[in-house]
A and B are shown apart, each in its own frame.
Chain A
Amino acid sequence: MITFDKTTKTYEGGVTAVDGVDFTVEKGNIVVLLGPSGCGKTTLLRMVNRLETISDGKITIDGEDSMSLDQIALRRKIGYVIQSNGLFPNMTIEENVMIVPDLLGWKKKEKRERFNKLMEMIGLSGEKFGKRYPHELSGGQQQRIGVIRALAADPPVMLMDEPFGALDPIIREKIQDEFLQIQREVKKTILFVSHDIDEAIKMADKIVLLRGGEVMQYDTPSEMLVRPKNEFVREFFGKDRAIKSLSLHTINDLQEVIGLANMDETISDTITINVNHDLRNTLSMLLNQEADQVIVIDDEGNKLGAITIDIVQKYLHFEIKAKPTLVQKG
């Protein structure tokens, strides 16, 4: 758990980068710091592991004031991932990943086991990649290594500064999914900086939207999309925020609440869609009008019913707008 208590950062010369920020990242949650450039999100993140000093207020980590801890010990307890992955070119992949365990004095055997386990998590062979150097890996692989390096000593808290920002969209989405998968297993308390709204909606349990160092709104993604607290939030998420909010729900959610339409056996021009698809993509597919009827199937391929634009709209209207916090990510 990370708690910000009137946390403030003022630079010499009087520029305030972070202004009296108050919020708590619950244990096991991902909180995304979102906002335009210069809003103080990276500064705020870096204040947690004291790469930036705290001018006023405080930050507590699992109940302990971060200033009461030794700076080096504090950083070793906090996983840190940055955009350009920050891998050291003079070290092999294994050496890179095992830096913190090494600094903490783990035994060789423990390190080897941990390394192989972490590599398994991201679907790479420890045997094959361990002795290679960072430049011999693709950008996506390097970023994955950056993530498991932060996880190496199993820190309870992780800081991620636009970790997937430098990747191309397809790889980025894949790594986001993979990371959410890992997170379900490891349940870290994560503070995550992003400037990408879609990424924030996808990754976050809660979003902190910042402007000029101040918190504009701290809420779940769906609440923020459906009930923006002020004009800035409304504008930031854009006119398509209703559509964006659909990405938080799947056809399955819709089916449980309002049910699907009946299939019309007389229509032969049909395509199928998996029930776990999110509604935003589903809507895009419906708008493409590739077929006269879209049939929803489950993982086994059983036909569950048909889906139409009307149903999605109805769901949006009655469920999302009326009960914004109904669907929680888990």
Chain B
Amino acid sequence: MDKWMKFLEVNAPRILDLAIEHTILVGLAILVALIIGVPLGIYLTTNDYLAETVLQIASVMLTIPSIALFGVMIPVFSIVNQGIGFVPAFVALVLYSQLPIIRNTYTAIRNVNPEMRDAAKGLGMKTSQRLLRVEIPNAFPIIMAGIRTAVVLNIGIGVIAAYIGAGGLGVLITQGISRGDNYLIISGSIAVAILAMIADGILLFIQKRYTPKSIAN
């Protein structure tokens, strides 16, 4: 226990810095993934053929081992002199989070009660009004569930980003492995777990807070 206290005394500021770095990397990736994934998921509900193709591609993306995807990013981004560091890691994380976000958005909007949609049309709502006033609010919990999955997934995968020099909590773990330092490995792992739990908790709160009361149960 004493050893742990000593370790934390020395390393706490560094762990905190890395956690912030990790959060920024994952946060930005999720933000961009949302900007792409949610509108794409909504659009796909109007195009069955494309929906199948896009969801397949997104599924395949998720089956690529993370280390391999990060590896592939290096030569690709070397072209623009960004071979290692933030940019390739960020792009890989955006790709990873597409599937849960697109799929949940697509499913949620598709599953909005057809009678509700019919009523919205029959009352004279334009497509955009129908989406914003009826379909998205009623699909919100499922869309949020997809976002939560993507965030937790990305916090975990973000660890691998350390291997291509993108920093984050993965640095503790990779250093720990190469130096055979268990303190580094364990502290890094626990920090990642705590970060994931905090992020999920915050998102769950948002989900509960903004889900229409009447569809929550």
A residues apposed to B, CB below 8 Å: 49, 51, 72-77, 80, 82-91, 99-100, 103, 133-136, 149, 159
- Contact across chains for B138 and A49 when beta carbons are under 8 A apart: no
Q: A134 vs B116: C-alpha distance in the bound complex, in angstroms?
A: 13
Which range contains the number of B residues in contact with the other chain? 20 to 34
Contacts of B208 in A (CB 8 A): none
Interface with A: B29-37, B120-128, B156-164, which one? B120-128
What 10 additional pairs, Cβ within 8 angstroms, besides A49-B122, A100-B124?
A72-B124, A74-B124, A75-B121, A75-B122, A75-B124, A82-B118, A84-B115, A89-B138, A99-B123, A133-B214
Contacts of B125 in A (CB 8 A): 72, 99, 103
Q: With an 8 A cutoff between CB atoms, is B82 at the interface?
A: no
Q: With an 8 A cutoff between CB atoms, is B119 at the interface?
A: yes
Q: With an 8 A cutoff between CB atoms, is B129 at the interface?
A: yes
Q: Using a CB-CB cutoff of 8 Å, which residues 114-154 of chain B contact chain A?
A: 115-116, 118-126, 129, 133-134, 137-138
Q: A90 vs B211: C-alpha distance in the bound complex, in angstroms?
A: 8
**What's the nearest-Cβ distance from chain A to residue B190, in Å?**
40
B residues apposed to A, CB below 8 Å: 115-116, 118-126, 129, 133-134, 137-138, 212-215
**What's the nearest-Cβ distance from chain A to residue B148, in Å?**
20
- Contact across chains for A133 and B212 when beta carbons are under 8 A apart: yes
Q: A85 vs B123: C-alpha distance in the bound complex, in angstroms?
A: 12
- Contact across chains for A80 and B119 when beta carbons are under 8 A apart: yes
Contacts of B118 in A (CB 8 A): 51, 82, 86
**What's the nearest-Cβ distance from chain A to residue B49, in Å?**
17
Q: A89 vs B116: C-alpha distance in the bound complex, in angstroms?
A: 9
Contacts of B137 in A (CB 8 A): 90
The 5 closest A-B pairs by CB, nearest first: A86-B119, A75-B124, A90-B212, A76-B124, A80-B122
Given contacts A86-B116, A103-B129, A80 and B134 within 8 Å (CB-CB): no
Contacts of A49 in B (CB 8 A): 122
**What's the nearest-Cβ distance from chain A to residue B124, in Å?**
4
Which of B118, B119, B134 has the most CB atoms of chain A within a 10 A radius of its CB?
A: B119
Q: A103 vs B123: C-alpha distance in the bound complex, in angstroms?
A: 9
